[in-house]
Structures are given as C-alpha cells and as structure tokens.
Amino acid sequence: MRARRLIICTASLILFSSAALAANPPIEPCDNTPLPEEVQQLLAQKYPSWRTARFSDLSDEEQNQWQKSKQRGLCPGIAKGHFDSPTSISYA
C-alpha cells in the first residue's frame, strides 16, 4: 500500500512538473536581440537562412565559459557596443 502511494505521488509530480515546463518554455535571449531594421532586412535579403548563434550552438567548453561570464543571460551570437566610435552603437 505504501509503495503504491509512493508511485502515485511520484507519477503525479512528474506529470505536473512537465506540464508546467511545457506551458512556460525557456526564453531564448537570441530571439529578443534587437538588431536595427536595416540590418535585419539586409540579412534576410542576402542570407535568408542566417540566424544568430545560440547557446545550444556552442561547444560544451564554450557553454561552460558562457555560463560563468557576466553575459550569461544574453545572446552569445551578438555583441553590441561602441566598437568604432564612442558615440554610435555597433554590432558584431
């Protein structure tokens, strides 16, 4: 009787946990990375199959390094900063 109760509780926990995960899929930071409209249009026109490198595209070692970095919640495929000029934003 006790084993049956344990099995039912375990099965219920697994069922409800997976339902909660399915309802709230993890957010992919690369989907929300704002590129300028002109850049998006150019990429779509010249490279229609191009997409930003995602965390899942990184090797195991790169994933470990990314998880330890200050940037871990951001998209690893896009760098945004003042690369060319201190007054304008550039993307890499």
Position 22 pLDDT exceeds 50: no
HSE-CB at 75 with a 13 A cutoff on CA atoms is: 19
Distances (CA, A) of 45 to 24, 54, 64: 33, 21, 34
Q: What is the pLDDT of residue 12?
A: 52
Give burial (CB, 10 Å; 0-12/13-18/19+) of 20: exposed
Q: What is the pLDDT of residue 45?
A: 96
At 25-83, the pLDDT tens digits run: 556 788 877 788 898 899 899 999 988 889 899 999 999 998 999 988 888 888 888 99
pTM above 0.75? no
